């Protein structure tokens, strides 16, 4: 009985899965039409396939998701491999590509998790998008010399790829090596003018990379999270660096090129090992969050020509102690130096200002008139979420006294008006009655609403003398409109 069953099984197998015949058009195992192989019937146990002669094109998804396929040999004469031809053949380890192949479609080998090495044919000029995406075991790839183009995401998620030497006529497209976590060395071709979006994002083992001098654009997320990248030379031709391009890298130093005219936010943010930054002349702006949370950065010297320090530019630089402002500086965001708790020394136009002086003395005669361009820098340096920070209070007090002495200074007046609520609350917190009394003489600073807020703050801080002072001011300048409001104000006292 057993022998009959085995004989029946062999008969059925031979009929359904005949061996390749000389005429591929009549081959029942391969579905071939006019030289295009569109399908292949495999037994579950089969590990190797040899495509018969006469085929010039492997059709789209022809071997899609054949889970047990380990080896495939293509005959001479195959010119085209269409998209997704071998996609998700998870056990595929070896592919023999004949020299006749000139075109391989998108995602043709995507998801081939076991593929370790592949030799590309010499006539191939383009690597299509996602061609080797998710080839987790791919360690080595040989490029033909005639290769001219790589499309986006071509090696995305190739987590075993360690070294790549790109052909000399290619550029680095978007997401080309994203998540290639084992990649250590890359040689970017000299002709490249652009590094694509997220090209090396999350390449945490990348240590050495040379950016050629013709590069003009480094796009967003290009080297994001490359934690092993300790040094990089950004060439002088670079005009644009995209947002988070070098965020959370292992950079220890960086030179900002003079040709830089535009940058996105947080370009070098979270570079915890960054100790030295050299700014070339010609830079006009320190862009938003550019060095945010670079906790090892100790000293900054901005060259002449810098006009703007944008929001959060150096926020969270806990080790920053010294900064030199250029005479050209026009605008400083009030959040530019938040949480820079150790920043005490400010240098501008040959003058040195020690912020500690404002904390150690009651003499508020510092030469404000000689530093109009960095009036907001003092405030932004010490701005903090801690209401009672003595450094913050000292600078607030200094600016208020300067406002009282030099009301003609328009920029300072505008700044006081814009930040009055936060600054005045700090005066209440330290119970500075004298300064508050002087400020109340400047009635144009106050409105009915903000005075009510300050009365409430004084009550919360148990600054009852200031509360009475503010209530009397309110009653004089903003008399109650009704008996009910009068009763309410007296009740608050």
Q: Is 332 helix (H, G, I), strand (E, B) or coil?
A: strand
In angstroms, the CA 406 to CA 109 distance is 72
Q: Cα dihedral angle (130, 134, 136, 141), rounded to 10 degrees?
A: -10
What would the pLDDT profile of 4-53 be if each residue is shown by its tens digit? 555 655 564 555 444 444 444 444 478 889 999 998 877 667 789 999 99
**What does the pLDDT read at residue 336?**
83
The pLDDT score that the predictor gives to residue 349 is: 61
The residue among 371 and 295 whose pLDDT is bigger is: 295
337-376: burial string, b at 16+ Cβ within 10 Å, e else: bbbbbebbbbebeeeebebeebbeeeebebebeebebbbb
172-199 pLDDT per residue, tens = 999 999 999 999 988 888 888 999 999 9
Find the length of the chain: 493
Mean pLDDT computed over every residue of the chain? 83
Kindly write down the DSSP assignment for every residue of 363-431, as one continuous string.
-----GGG-GGGHHHHHHHH--S-TT-HHHHHHHHHHHHHHHH-TT-HHHHHHHHHHHHHHHHHHHHTT
Cβ–Cβ < 8 Å for 259, 281: no
pLDDT score of 362: 43
pLDDT beyond 90 at 487: no
pLDDT of 62 reads 92
Question: What's the pLDDT score for residue 354?
Answer: 57
For residue 405, give every residue at least 6 positions away whose Cβ sits within 8 Å of its Cβ, in sequence order, or none.
Answer: none
Q: Tokens standing for 350?
A: 């040959």
Q: What is the predicted pLDDT for the residue at 8?
A: 55
pLDDT for position 2: 56
DSSP per position, 454-486: HHHHHHHTT-HHHHHHHHHHHHHHS--SSHHHH
Q: pLDDT-derived band of residue 136, with 50, 70 and 90 as boundaries?
A: very high
Distance CA 293, CA 232 (A): 19
Res. 274 pLDDT band, cuts 50 70 90: very high
Per-residue confidence (pLDDT) for residue 400, from 0 to 100: 83
Helix (H) / strand (E) element for 31: namely strand 30-33
Q: What does the pLDDT read at residue 27?
A: 46
SS3 336: coil
Characterize 102-130 residue by residue with b for buried, 16 or more Cβ atoms within 10 angstroms of its Cβ, and e for exposed.
Answer: eebbbbbbbbbebbeebebbeebebbbbb
Q: Which helix (H) or strand (E) holds 485?
A: helix 483-492
Evaluate the CA torsion angle 239, 245, 248, 250 in order and state its sign.
negative
Per the CB < 8 A criterion, the answer to whether 302 and 279 are in contact is yes
The helix/strand/coil state of 202 is coil
For 191-221, how does the pLDDT look when each residue is reduced to its tens digit (9 = 90+)? 889 999 999 999 999 988 888 989 999 999 9
Please state, for a pLDDT cut of 90, what percent of the chain lies above it.
45
Q: Is the pLDDT of residue 418 over 50?
A: yes
- Tell me the C-alpha to C-alpha distance, in Å, between residue 395 and each of 180, 337, 435: 49, 14, 13
Q: Could you give the CA distance from residue 158 to residue 132 in angstroms, rounded to a whole number?
A: 7
Residue with tokens 């080309």: 176
Q: Kindly report, residue by residue over 427-465, the tens digit of the pLDDT.
A: 898 888 999 999 999 988 899 899 999 999 999 888 999
Q: What is the pTM assigned to this prediction? A: 0.72
Q: Report the run of H or E that residue 263 belongs to, with start and end.
A: strand 262-263
Q: Where are the strands (E) in 170-238, listed by range? A: 185-187, 194-195, 208-210, 217-218
> What is the rounded distance in angstroms from the CA atom of residue 258 to the CA atom of residue 488?
62
pLDDT at 10: 58
- At 4 the pLDDT is 59
């Amino acid at each position: 009985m057993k022998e009959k069953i085995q004989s029946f099984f062999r008969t059925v197998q031979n009929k359904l899965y005949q061996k390749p015949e000389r005429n591929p058009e009549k081959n029942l195992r391969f579905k071939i039409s006019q030289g295009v192989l569109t399908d292949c019937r495999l037994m579950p146990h089969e590990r190797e396939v040899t495509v018969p002669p006469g085929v010039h094109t492997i059709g789209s998804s022809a071997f899609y998701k054949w889970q047990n396929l380990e080896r495939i040999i293509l005959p001479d004469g195959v010119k085209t491999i269409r998209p997704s031809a071998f996609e998700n053949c998870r056990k595929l380890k070896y592919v023999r590509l004949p020299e006749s192949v000139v075109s391989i479609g998108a995602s043709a080998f995507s998801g081939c998790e076991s593929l370790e090495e592949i030799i590309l044919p010499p006539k191939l000029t383009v690597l299509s998008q996602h061609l080797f995406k998710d080839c987790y075991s791919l360690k080595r790839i040989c490029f033909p010399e005639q290769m001219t183009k790589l499309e986006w995401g071509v090696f995305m998620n190739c987590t075993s790829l360690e070294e790549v030497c790109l052909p000399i006529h290619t550029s680095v497209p978007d997401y080309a090596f994203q998540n290639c976590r084992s990649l250590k060395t890359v040689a970017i071709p000299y002709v490249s003018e652009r590094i694509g979006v997220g090209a090396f994002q999350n390449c945490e083992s990348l240590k050495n990379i040379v950016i050629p001098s013709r590069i003009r654009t480094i796009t967003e997320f290009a080297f994001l999270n490359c934690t092993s990248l300790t040094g990089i030379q950004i060439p002088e031709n670079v005009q644009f660096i995209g947002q988070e391009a070098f965020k959370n890298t292992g950079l220890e130093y960086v030179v900002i090129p003079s040709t830089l005219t535009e940058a996105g936010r947080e370009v070098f943010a979270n570079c915890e090992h960054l100790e030295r930054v050299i700014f070339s002349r010609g830079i006009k702006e320190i862009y938003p969050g550019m060095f945010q949370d670079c906790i090892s950065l100790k000293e900054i010297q901005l060259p002449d020509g810098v006009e703007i320090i944008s929001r959060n530019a150096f926020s969270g630089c806990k080790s920053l102690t010294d900064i030199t402002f250029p005479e050209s500086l026009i605008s400083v965001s009030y959040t530019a130096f938040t949480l820079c708790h150790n920043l005490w020394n400010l240098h501008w136009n040959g003058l040195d200002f020690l912020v500690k002086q404002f904390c150690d003395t009651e003499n508020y005669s510092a030469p404000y008139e000689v530093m109009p361009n960095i009036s907001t820098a003092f405030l932004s340096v010490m701005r903090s979420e801690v209401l009672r920070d003595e450094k913050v209070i000292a600078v607030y007090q200094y600016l208020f006294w300067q406002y009282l002495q030099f009301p003609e200074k328009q920029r300072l007046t505008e700044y006081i008006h814009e930040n009055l609520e936060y600054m005045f609350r700090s005066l209440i917190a330290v119970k500075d009655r004298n300064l508050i009394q002087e400020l109340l003489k400047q009635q144009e600073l106050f409105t009915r609403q903000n005075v009510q807020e300050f009365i409430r703050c004084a009550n919360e801080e148990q600054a009852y003398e200031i509360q009475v002072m503010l209530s009397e001011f309110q009653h004089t300048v903003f008399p109650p409109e009704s008996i009910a409001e009068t009763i309410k104000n007296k009740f608050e006292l």
